[in-house]
Amino acid sequence: KAGVTQTPRYLIKTRGQQVTLSCSPISGHRSVSWYQQTPGQGLQFLFEYFSETQRNKGNFPGRFSGRQFSNSRSEMNVSTLELGDSALYLCASREGLNYNEQFFGPGTRLTVL
Amino acid sequence: AQSVTQLDSQVPVFEEAPVELRCNYSSSVSVYLFWYVQYPNQGLQLLLKYLSGSTLVKGINGFEAEFNKSQTSFHLRKPSVHISDTAEYFCASLPGAAGNKLTFGGGTRVLVKP
Protein backbone atom coordinates (compact mmCIF):
# COMPACT_ATOMS: atom_id res chain seq x y z
CA LYS A 1 0.00 0.00 0.00
CA ALA A 2 1.12 3.52 -0.63
CA GLY A 3 1.91 5.55 2.46
CA VAL A 4 0.42 8.80 3.63
CA THR A 5 0.99 11.52 1.09
CA GLN A 6 0.97 15.25 1.67
CA THR A 7 0.93 18.06 -0.85
CA PRO A 8 2.60 20.36 -1.35
CA ARG A 9 5.86 19.46 0.36
CA TYR A 10 7.02 23.06 0.58
CA LEU A 11 5.12 26.30 0.64
CA ILE A 12 6.04 29.94 1.06
CA LYS A 13 3.38 32.48 1.95
CA THR A 14 3.27 36.02 3.29
CA ARG A 15 1.56 37.27 6.42
CA GLY A 16 -2.16 37.71 6.08
CA GLN A 17 -2.57 35.14 3.33
CA GLN A 18 -4.34 31.86 3.74
CA VAL A 19 -3.12 28.39 2.89
CA THR A 20 -4.61 24.94 2.28
CA LEU A 21 -2.65 21.76 2.83
CA SER A 22 -3.74 18.35 1.61
CA CYS A 23 -3.35 14.86 3.01
CA SER A 24 -4.22 11.51 1.47
CA PRO A 25 -4.29 8.69 4.02
CA ILE A 26 -3.28 5.10 3.50
CA SER A 27 -5.94 3.24 1.55
CA GLY A 28 -8.56 1.92 3.96
CA HIS A 29 -7.65 4.31 6.75
CA ARG A 30 -10.58 6.44 7.81
CA SER A 31 -9.00 8.62 10.47
CA VAL A 32 -6.70 11.54 9.70
CA SER A 33 -4.91 13.66 12.28
CA TRP A 34 -2.91 16.83 11.82
CA TYR A 35 0.09 17.99 13.86
CA GLN A 36 2.20 21.12 13.88
CA GLN A 37 5.93 20.79 14.50
CA THR A 38 8.03 23.81 15.43
CA PRO A 39 11.46 24.09 17.10
CA GLY A 40 9.96 26.01 20.02
CA GLN A 41 6.74 24.12 20.70
CA GLY A 42 7.60 20.68 19.39
CA LEU A 43 4.88 18.43 18.04
CA GLN A 44 1.40 19.63 18.81
CA PHE A 45 -1.91 18.05 17.91
CA LEU A 46 -4.23 20.16 15.78
CA PHE A 47 -7.27 17.98 15.11
CA GLU A 48 -8.48 14.57 14.05
CA TYR A 49 -11.15 13.69 11.52
CA PHE A 50 -13.06 10.47 11.13
CA SER A 51 -15.96 9.85 8.78
CA GLU A 52 -15.88 13.50 7.70
CA THR A 53 -16.40 14.71 11.29
CA GLN A 54 -13.94 16.39 13.56
CA ARG A 55 -13.53 14.07 16.54
CA ASN A 56 -10.85 15.79 18.56
CA LYS A 57 -9.27 19.21 18.63
CA GLY A 58 -6.08 20.67 20.07
CA ASN A 59 -5.51 24.13 21.49
CA PHE A 60 -5.16 26.20 18.36
CA PRO A 61 -7.01 29.37 17.34
CA GLY A 62 -9.95 29.27 15.00
CA ARG A 63 -7.72 30.34 12.11
CA PHE A 64 -6.78 26.68 11.89
CA SER A 65 -9.50 24.55 10.40
CA GLY A 66 -9.84 21.32 8.54
CA ARG A 67 -12.17 19.03 6.77
CA GLN A 68 -12.37 15.48 5.55
CA PHE A 69 -13.93 14.21 2.38
CA SER A 70 -15.91 11.04 1.77
CA ASN A 71 -12.79 9.33 0.38
CA SER A 72 -11.02 10.10 3.71
CA ARG A 73 -8.69 12.66 2.17
CA SER A 74 -8.28 15.66 4.40
CA GLU A 75 -7.40 19.30 4.00
CA MET A 76 -6.17 21.76 6.54
CA ASN A 77 -6.62 25.49 6.16
CA VAL A 78 -4.89 28.32 7.94
CA SER A 79 -6.28 31.79 7.44
CA THR A 80 -4.66 35.16 8.11
CA LEU A 81 -1.20 33.65 8.35
CA GLU A 82 1.19 34.84 11.02
CA LEU A 83 4.98 34.49 11.16
CA GLY A 84 4.56 32.01 13.99
CA ASP A 85 2.62 29.66 11.74
CA SER A 86 5.87 28.72 10.01
CA ALA A 87 6.21 25.03 10.78
CA LEU A 88 6.25 21.50 9.49
CA TYR A 89 2.67 20.27 9.29
CA LEU A 90 2.36 16.52 9.62
CA CYS A 91 -0.59 14.40 8.73
CA ALA A 92 -1.14 10.93 10.17
CA SER A 93 -3.69 8.27 9.37
CA ARG A 94 -4.99 5.20 11.16
CA GLU A 95 -7.62 2.65 10.33
CA GLY A 96 -10.10 3.98 12.81
CA LEU A 97 -10.50 5.63 16.18
CA ASN A 98 -9.97 2.33 18.00
CA TYR A 99 -6.64 1.70 16.30
CA ASN A 100 -3.63 2.96 18.19
CA GLU A 101 -0.94 3.06 15.51
CA GLN A 102 -0.74 6.18 13.39
CA PHE A 103 1.22 6.39 10.16
CA PHE A 104 2.77 9.72 9.33
CA GLY A 105 3.29 11.47 6.05
CA PRO A 106 6.46 13.39 5.13
CA GLY A 107 4.93 16.73 6.08
CA THR A 108 4.44 20.10 4.44
CA ARG A 109 7.01 22.72 5.30
CA LEU A 110 5.23 26.09 5.50
CA THR A 111 7.27 29.28 5.63
CA VAL A 112 5.48 32.54 6.35
CA LEU A 113 7.37 35.71 5.38
CA ALA B 1 -4.11 15.42 31.34
CA GLN B 2 -1.22 13.62 29.78
CA SER B 3 2.35 14.76 29.54
CA VAL B 4 5.53 13.22 28.19
CA THR B 5 9.00 14.34 29.20
CA GLN B 6 12.15 13.44 27.37
CA LEU B 7 14.95 14.15 29.74
CA ASP B 8 17.71 14.76 27.21
CA SER B 9 17.39 17.17 24.31
CA GLN B 10 20.62 15.99 22.69
CA VAL B 11 22.66 12.83 23.04
CA PRO B 12 26.03 12.56 21.31
CA VAL B 13 27.31 9.00 21.04
CA PHE B 14 30.14 7.22 19.27
CA GLU B 15 29.47 4.66 16.59
CA GLU B 16 29.07 1.11 17.97
CA ALA B 17 28.49 2.44 21.49
CA PRO B 18 25.20 1.84 23.33
CA VAL B 19 22.61 4.57 23.71
CA GLU B 20 19.68 5.13 26.05
CA LEU B 21 17.03 7.78 25.52
CA ARG B 22 14.94 8.57 28.56
CA CYS B 23 11.21 9.14 28.56
CA ASN B 24 8.82 9.70 31.45
CA TYR B 25 5.07 10.00 31.11
CA SER B 26 2.21 11.04 33.32
CA SER B 27 -1.40 10.11 32.84
CA SER B 28 -4.44 9.59 35.00
CA VAL B 29 -5.51 6.67 32.83
CA SER B 30 -3.76 3.71 31.28
CA VAL B 31 -1.81 4.62 28.19
CA TYR B 32 -0.20 3.19 25.14
CA LEU B 33 3.40 4.30 24.63
CA PHE B 34 5.34 4.81 21.44
CA TRP B 35 8.77 5.74 20.17
CA TYR B 36 9.06 7.43 16.80
CA VAL B 37 12.14 8.42 14.79
CA GLN B 38 12.37 11.39 12.46
CA TYR B 39 15.17 11.64 9.91
CA PRO B 40 15.96 15.06 8.41
CA ASN B 41 13.20 16.40 6.18
CA GLN B 42 11.01 13.39 6.76
CA GLY B 43 7.92 12.47 8.74
CA LEU B 44 7.78 10.21 11.77
CA GLN B 45 8.42 6.49 11.61
CA LEU B 46 7.26 4.16 14.35
CA LEU B 47 10.13 2.34 16.08
CA LEU B 48 8.12 0.41 18.64
CA LYS B 49 5.04 0.50 20.82
CA TYR B 50 3.88 -0.74 24.19
CA LEU B 51 0.25 -1.70 24.45
CA SER B 52 0.18 -4.33 27.20
CA GLY B 53 1.87 -7.55 28.22
CA SER B 54 5.63 -7.93 28.32
CA THR B 55 7.32 -4.80 29.57
CA LEU B 56 10.29 -5.27 27.23
CA VAL B 57 9.35 -4.26 23.74
CA LYS B 58 11.50 -4.88 20.69
CA GLY B 59 11.25 -2.67 17.67
CA ILE B 60 12.84 -2.09 14.31
CA ASN B 61 16.51 -1.36 13.62
CA GLY B 62 17.67 -3.09 16.82
CA PHE B 63 15.89 -0.74 19.22
CA GLU B 64 14.10 -1.88 22.35
CA ALA B 65 12.29 -0.15 25.18
CA GLU B 66 11.25 -1.08 28.67
CA PHE B 67 7.95 -0.04 30.21
CA ASN B 68 8.23 0.64 33.93
CA LYS B 69 4.87 1.44 35.47
CA SER B 70 6.16 2.23 38.94
CA GLN B 71 8.63 4.76 37.57
CA THR B 72 6.27 5.86 34.77
CA SER B 73 9.12 5.48 32.32
CA PHE B 74 9.57 4.09 28.83
CA HIS B 75 13.27 4.36 28.03
CA LEU B 76 14.60 3.47 24.59
CA ARG B 77 17.86 1.59 24.14
CA LYS B 78 20.12 0.31 21.42
CA PRO B 79 23.21 -1.76 22.27
CA SER B 80 25.29 -0.57 19.32
CA VAL B 81 24.48 2.47 17.21
CA HIS B 82 25.32 3.20 13.60
CA ILE B 83 25.92 6.48 11.83
CA SER B 84 22.52 6.00 10.20
CA ASP B 85 20.84 6.23 13.62
CA THR B 86 21.54 9.96 13.65
CA ALA B 87 18.04 11.40 13.89
CA GLU B 88 15.51 12.88 16.29
CA TYR B 89 13.56 10.51 18.49
CA PHE B 90 10.16 11.18 19.99
CA CYS B 91 8.38 9.44 22.82
CA ALA B 92 4.58 9.65 22.75
CA SER B 93 1.60 8.50 24.78
CA LEU B 94 -1.97 7.76 23.79
CA PRO B 95 -4.74 7.20 26.34
CA GLY B 96 -6.18 3.72 26.19
CA ALA B 97 -9.50 4.90 24.87
CA ALA B 98 -10.86 5.58 21.44
CA GLY B 99 -10.64 8.94 19.79
CA ASN B 100 -7.83 10.41 21.86
CA LYS B 101 -4.74 12.20 20.70
CA LEU B 102 -1.04 11.43 20.80
CA THR B 103 0.95 13.55 23.20
CA PHE B 104 4.61 13.89 22.26
CA GLY B 105 7.71 14.58 24.27
CA GLY B 106 10.06 17.35 23.22
CA GLY B 107 12.32 15.03 21.27
CA THR B 108 15.91 13.85 21.69
CA ARG B 109 18.39 14.56 18.97
CA VAL B 110 20.92 11.72 18.62
CA LEU B 111 24.20 12.48 16.91
CA VAL B 112 26.30 9.42 16.17
CA LYS B 113 29.98 10.24 15.75
CA PRO B 114 32.46 8.03 13.86
User: What pLDDT was estimated at residue B97?
Assistant: 63
Terminus-to-terminus CA distance in chain B, angstroms?
41
Q: d(Cα B87, Cα B109) in Å, to the nearest integer?
A: 6
Residues of chain A with pLDDT under 50: none
User: What pLDDT was estimated at residue B94?
Assistant: 87
Chain B residues whose beta carbon lies within 8 Å of the beta carbon of residue A7? none
| Per-residue pLDDT at B98 exceeds 60 | no
DSSP state of B70: T
| Per-residue pLDDT at B7 exceeds 80 | yes
DSSP state of A38: E
Chain B residues whose beta carbon lies within 8 Å of the beta carbon of residue A98? 98
Is the CB of A104 less than 8 angstroms away from the CB of B44?
yes
pLDDT, tens digit (0-9, with 9 covering 90-100), for B31-82: 899 999 999 888 999 999 998 888 899 999 999 999 998 999 999 999 999 9
Determine which of B6, B91, B101 to mutate to test the interface with A (most A C-beta atoms within 10 Å). B101
